Structure 1
Amino acid sequence: MQPFLLPKGTARQQGFAELAAQGPITRLTLFTGVPVVLVTGYAEVRALLAHPEVVRSMMEGPHRDFLTEEQVRWTDRHMLLMNPPDHTRLRKLVTAAFTRRRIDELEPRIREIAAELLDKIEAAGDGADLVQLFSYPLPITVICELVGVPVEHRESFRQWSSVAVNAPMHTPDEYIEASGQIVAMIQELIAVKSKEPADDLLSALVAVREGGDRLSAEELTSMIFLLMSAGHETTVNLITNGTYALLEHPEQLALLRAEPDRLPAAVEETLRYDGPLQVTVPYFVQAPIDIAGERLEPGEVLVFALLPANRDDRKVDRPDEFDITRPDSAHLAFGHGIHHCLGAPLARLEGRVALEMLFDRFPNLRLAEPDGEPDRPPGFLLNGIQTLPLNIT
C-alpha cells in the first residue's frame, strides 16, 4: 500500500491530481500511519456519502486513546459523529434553532463588522495581511456573537479552537488543554443563558424542544463545541482563497466588477476551485460495497478528497480553470448526504459579503507579493492560506 505524504502549496492540488489519475478510489497509508481508502472521484464521493452503509464513529475522534470517557462525552456528542436515528434527532433539534431566518438576519451585522475591519486594512496600508486583519476576525466575530461569547474570551477561544480543529498536528496534552478550556467556557455560557436567555443561538439551543425532546447537557455542549471550532475556520479559508483566486485571475475580477450580480457564482466557483477543506473527516464501511470496480470491505476507513473531486474532469469541463461564468459550478465543498454542512448558508453569506465589500472598498487591490506563492498551513483537513499580504493603493 503506497504511502501518502502531505503535499504543500500548489503541490497539494498536484498531489491529489496524481492520485486521482490512478482512479477514483485509491488505497494508501496516511502520514499518520493509518491505512485508508481515499476517494477522489466526484460521482464516487457523492454516492458514498449518501450510502447507508457508510457511517461515522464516535470512537475515532482526535487523540481518543488519551481522553477519558468524560472528556469525550462533552466534545463528541454532536451530529457530525452520529448516525441515524441519533443523527436525525440531533439535526432536527439543531435546525429548529439554527434557522435560515436567523442566518439572514445576520447580514447587517456582518456588514458592520466587515466595514470596521476594512478600516483597519486601510489604516495598515500596503502590505496589510488579509488573513490577520479581515479573513480571520470576520467569521470568528460572527460565530462568537451568534453563540454569545463575551468579547474578553474571544482571543483565547481563537487560540484554543485552532488547536482543536488541527488536533492531529498537536500533542494529546495540547489538544486536551485546548478542548477542555473550550468546554469549560461553553458550560459557563450555558449556565448564564439558562438563567438569562438572550437573542442568540446558544439561548435558542438551550430552549429548543421538538415533540417533548431537547438536547441533553452533553449534546448541547458538544454541538456548540462543533459550531464554534469548525464554524469559522472554513469561512476564513473561503474568504482568503476567493480573494486570492480573483486577484490571480484579473480577467475574472474585471468581469465581477462589471457584473456584480455574478458574486454568488464567484463564491460557488471558489468553493469548487479552491475549497476550504482538503478532505472530510473519516467515515467507515459497515457492509461490503461495490463501486468503481472496487470492493470496499467492512471496517475500512474512507476519506473523501474534496479538492480532486471538485476538479474531476468527468464532472467539470476545464476543471483547473477558475471561471465565474460556469453554468454549473456543482461542488462537494460542504459535503453531501445527511452530514451536509449545516452552516453552509452562513458561510456563503459571509463569503459573499466579505468579497463584495473588500473589492468595493479597494478598487486597486492587488497582491503585495505577486511572484510568490502563499504558504498553505500544515494539516490534512483544512485548505487555506496562512498569510496574504495585499497592496491597496
Structure 2
Amino acid sequence: MSGNPTNQSETRPAVQFNPYAPGYDVNPYPALEKLRTEAPLFYWEQGRGWLVTRYEDAVAVLRDGQRFSPNREHWEFAASLGASAIVPELAELNKNGLFALDAQNHARVRKLVSPALTPRAIERLRPEIQAIVDEILDGVAARGRMDVVNEFAERIPARVIGSMLKIPKGREELFQDFTNAVVKNFLPGLVTPEEQEILRGHIREGLALVSETIEDRRRNPLENDIMTALIQTEEQGDKLNKQELLSLVSALIVGGFETTIHLIAFCTYNLLQRPEVLAQVKSEPELFKNLIEEVLRFDNFGKMGIARYALEDVELGGVRIKKGQMLLIMLNSALRDESTFDKADAFDIRRNTNVSIAFGHGAHYCIGANLARLEVQIAVGTLVRRFPELRLVKQPSFGPHPVIRRMEALEVDLRSPSA
C-alpha cells in the first residue's frame, strides 16, 4: 500500500511541517496553529503519517480502540522497520507490553495493574520522593547556581523508581545504569556503535536485577509496597506473570523518565518566566497541581504525536484514512485548540483542565501519570520553597531529539536558601 494518500494530493494545502527546523523546539506553536487552521489533518510525507492537530479529532482517535491501534505492527511500513531495539531481550519483553497487547489482554492487564498505581497508592511514596529531592538540593545549595535539567531533574526519576521497587542497597547504581540504557534502547538512532555493547550489558544486568527483585518479593512480601501489590493483585484467579511484570517495570522507566525530567524543567521555566504566578503558588501551594496541568497544556514538551494505526479504512474530519496508515496525534496542538480551550494561548494557572489529554485518553491513558505528577509537584514545590529568590540566569537551550522538545540546560541562580 502506498503511503501517499491520493485524496490529499488533489487539494494539497500550502502548508509545510518540519519539527526539526531551527526554532521549532523553542516555539512550535505558530506552526501548529497554521496546521490547525489550514490543514487539521495533514499528511506529513517525511514522517509517512497523518498529523491530527485538533482536539476533537484527537479525542475521537484516542477513544476508538476498535478502529485505531497503538501497536505499530499494524502500520503499512512496519515490515521496513526491522529490529530497532539494541537489546533483543528487551524487544522480546515489549511483546508483553501494554501497547503490543490486543484489546482483551490489554484490558486484563490494566485491570490488574490499576489498583497499585492509583493516586492514593502513589501518595504513599511521598516521604521517599521528598527525601530524594532534599538530598539532591542539599548537594547544590552551597554553590548558589544549578542546571535544573542535568543537576536536578535528571537525577530524580531513576532514584524514585528504584526506591519504589525497593532495589537493594548497594545496587542502586546498577539500576541507574539500567534505566538510562532502557531509555536509550528506544532511541537507537542516538546511540553510537561504541555505546551499544555497554548498553547491552547494562540492560541484561538490570533485567536480571529486576527479576531477582520480583522473586524476592514473591518470597518476602512487603506491606504498602507497589511491587508486592503488583505480584499479589488478582482478579478472578488471574495474576500478572513474570514477563508482564518485567514489561511493566520497563514501561514505567520509559514512560516516566523523560516525562518527569522535562515536566520538572518546563514547570520551573514557566514559573520563573511569570513572577505573578510564582507568587501565587508560593502563597497557595495547592496550586502546584494546577501548575503542572497548565504547563502540560500550554507548553507541552512533546515534539511528535502519539502514534495510532488505522485498522480499517476510516473517515476522520472529512479526510479518508486508509487501513494501515499512521496517525500522529499532536497533543501539543490539540491542547492549544481554541475551540476547546478558552483563550488557549494564555497561561492560566486557575484554568479548569478536566478535559486535558496531556497523558492520553481512553484505554491507553498513561499508567504512570499519577507518579509523574507527584514527583513534579514535590520537586518543583521544594525548589521554590527552599530558594525563595530563585531566578533564571538565561534562556534554556534545546538539543536534538526525534520526539520531544529536549531542554538541554536550564541554569538558575539559587541565591540565599531559606532556613
The answer to whether the 8 A contact 2:118-2:370 is kept is no
Deviations 1:119-167 (A, max 9, x none): 12312312x1112232122222111111233423233124313303434
Contact 1:25 1:37 in 2 (8 A): yes
Q: TM-score, normalised by structure 2?
A: 0.83
- Cα deviation for residue 71 of structure 1 reads 4.9
- What is the aligned counterpart of 1:12 among 21, 28, 45? 28
CA deviation map 1:162-212 (0-9, x unaligned): 303434534698397265454344333333333333453223323332211
1:186 correspondence with 2:200: no
* Map 1:170-181 → 2, pairs under 5 A: 170=191, 174=196, 177=200, 179-181=203-205
Aligned with residue 216 of structure 1, among 241, 256, 259: 241
State the SS of the aligned residue for 1:80: coil
Using the TM superposition, give the Cα deviation of residue 22 of structure 1 relative to its aligned residue in structure 2, in angstroms: 2.5
Residues 233-382 of structure 1 aligned to structure 2 (within 5 Å): 233-328=258-353, 330-369=355-394, 372=395, 374-382=396-404
* Bigger mean CA offset, 229-238 vs 356-365: 229-238
In 1: Cα distance, 2:31 partner to 2:209 partner: 40
Shift in Å, 1:6: 2.2
| Among candidates 123, 132, 151, match of residue 150 of structure 2 | 132
Q: Do the aligned partners of 1:4 and 1:29 also contact (CA within 8 Å) in 2?
A: no
Pairing 1:13-52 to 2, within 5 Å after superposition:
13-30=29-46, 34-51=47-64, 52=66
Shift in Å at residue 111 of structure 1? 1.8
Kept in 1, the 8 Å contact 2:153–2:264? The answer is yes
**Quick one: which amino acid aligns to residue 132 of structure 1?**
N
CA 1:259–1:187: 2 relative to 1, 3 Å: closer
How far is the alpha carbon of 1:308 from its aligned partner?
1.0
Q: How does 1:93-112 map to 2 (within 5 A)?
A: 93-112=112-131
Which stretch of the first structure deviates more once superposed, 234-243 or 160-169? 160-169
Q: Matched residue of 1:81: which SS?
A: coil
Q: Is the 8 A contact 1:103 1:346 kept in 2?
A: yes
Query: How many residue pairs align between the two structures?
Result: 386
1:392 corresponding residue in structure 2: 414
Shift of 1:284: 0.6
For residues 17 and 338 of structure 2, what CA distance do their matches in structure 1 show? 25
Match of 1:195 among 219, 234, 238: 219
User: Is contact 2:19–2:303 with CA below 8 Å preserved after alignment?
Assistant: no
Select the structure of larger CA radius of gyration: 2
User: Which residue is equivalent to 2:70?
Assistant: 56
Secondary structure, counterpart of 1:298 in structure 2: coil
Measured after TM superposition, the shift of residue 17 of structure 1 is 3.4
Gaps of 5+ in 1: none
Q: Which runs of 5+ in 2 are unaligned?
A: 5-15
Give yes or no for contact 2:179–2:253 (8 Å, CA) kept in 1: no
Displacement after TM superposition at 1:11 (Å)? 4.2
Identity %: 30
Change (3 A) 1:124 1:161: farther
Q: Is the 8 A contact 1:256 1:263 kept in 2?
A: yes
